[in-house]
Amino acid sequence: MEIKANAGNIKMWLETINTFNSTPDFGTTRVLFTDEEVKAREYVKSEMRKLNLQVHEDAIGNIFGVLKGTRPELPPVWTGSHIDTVLNAGMFDGMSGVVAGLEAVRLIQVNKLKHERNIVVVVYTSEEPTRFKVGCLGSRAMAGKLDAEAAKKLVDDGGNALYDVLQKLGFPVQDFDKVPVKKGSIYAAVELHIDQNGVLEKAGKPIGIVKTICAPSVFDVEVIGRQSHAGGTTMEDRQDAFMATAEIALVLEQLGRTSQSEYTTATIGKVQVIPNAVNVIPGKVVFSIDIRDCDYDYKNDLIAKLKNRIKEIADKRNVKVNLTQYNNDYPMKCDENIIKKLENACEKENTPYIKTISGAFHDSMLVGEFAPVAMIFVPSKNGISHSPEEWTNFADIAAGTDVLADTLIELANEI
Ligand code: GLV
Ligand code: MN
Ligand code: MN
């Protein structure tokens, strides 16, 4: 490509999206269907239109910006990511992939590159599980794993069902059954994302080509003990919900650390202690567990071991533990054909790369259930993400965008 990606455009889009932020004093927070997130959606749609894309949305709010090819009847090529964030996040996780998609379709047009297939920039709804506990809501629904009935049951901490929130915002929930995407109807999907591990920075390489995306299982855990007096109740007589939680936490960590799998992680990120007072033994603790692996069987093996250990801890400490599992996603192997094209594009652009795995999940994990997928990683400072410290140089996203645009063109002309 003669004209290369412009880091200034990427900076401008990222900084503008970042103005839609409910915690400007501490990182970026843009939770699904809050005012900030809805405004960011409107902004991205308007930028898509400026780039001559035809914009439409589905019933769960996935946004599609279509750049018409010469044979629009062929299965299209997708690229994109998400614009919602975790609490107090950075300005790159997700958004980089969306603006790289915008810049790639701009490049394809200014370089007058012909393409037979349509090229579509997709903004997936709620990749982050911040509001509804489960992530990848948009791609999950497209993969046929979240229907209208499930959306009625999925509630946020305020008791609002996803289905009702969509309806209130005017999304055509009556068309929920049209969201799933038929296998074979999408030719390929390529997502650019920041590296969230630091592997690229350590290797000193500007591009990571992802081989496998690890997949999560998320649980809510409710530990019920007996609330009583911190001074009056002897150490022997306690049914302390917090101490049981602490023991479960350490067991979880140990299982994660000693796993034989190539990549296992185990996290407790959300804890609520009840009543949360200095001189009261907690009667109840509610917390989350997030377990990931690149190997589905190892993940389930770890979950089974954890359940046994939890039972032992509950019996020993005389507490009751209720586990609710929200999902058990499949790790996704990236497509060899797209990987080859990404390697060729890196060589063409003289951009060194490594192959890597993604410990984080991405919409590509679920898109991979109905289309061949692959991912491009670009370096992230110290590999820090899900944090206000998250940082990626705009020039690095631009270099990744050149590789992305080359690859999209190759795929869009492969018949
Ligand atoms: C998504 O951001 C994840 O938690 O991996
Ligand atoms: Mn994230
Ligand atoms: Mn992300």
Name residues of the chain where pLDDT drops below 70: none
Per-residue model confidence (pLDDT) at position 309: 98
Please report the pLDDT score of residue 9 as a whole number.
98
Q: What is the pLDDT of residue 300?
A: 98
Q: Whose CA is nearest to atom 2 of ligand 1?
A: 128
Q: Sign of torsion, CA 394 400 403 409?
A: negative
Ligand 1 atom index nearest CA of 386: 2
pLDDT of the residue at 394: 98
Burial track 131-165 (b if 16+ CB lie within 10 A, e otherwise): bbbbbbbbbbbbbbbbebebbeebbbeeeeebbeb
**Ligand 1 atom closest to Cα of 292?**
5
- Main-chain dihedrals φ then ψ at residue 36, nearest 5 degrees: -60, -40
Ligand nearest to the Cα of 359, by number: 1
> Would you state the pLDDT for residue 1?
87
Number of H helices, E strands in the chain: 12, 16
pLDDT at residue 44, as a whole number = 99
Residues bordering ligand 2, an ion, CB closer than 5 Å = 93
Q: Which pLDDT value is given to residue 313?
A: 98
How many Å is the Cα radius of gyration of the chain?
22
What residue ranges line ligand 1, CB within 6 angstroms?
128, 135, 360-361
Q: Which residue has the tokens 């509804």?
A: 132
Q: What angle do CA 270, 274, 279 make, to 5 degrees?
A: 125
Please name the residue whose Cα sits nearest to atom 5 of ligand 1: 360
- CA angle 261/265/268 to nearest 5° reads 150
C-alpha to C-alpha distance for 141 and 84, rounded to whole angstroms: 17
pTM attached to this predicted model: 0.95
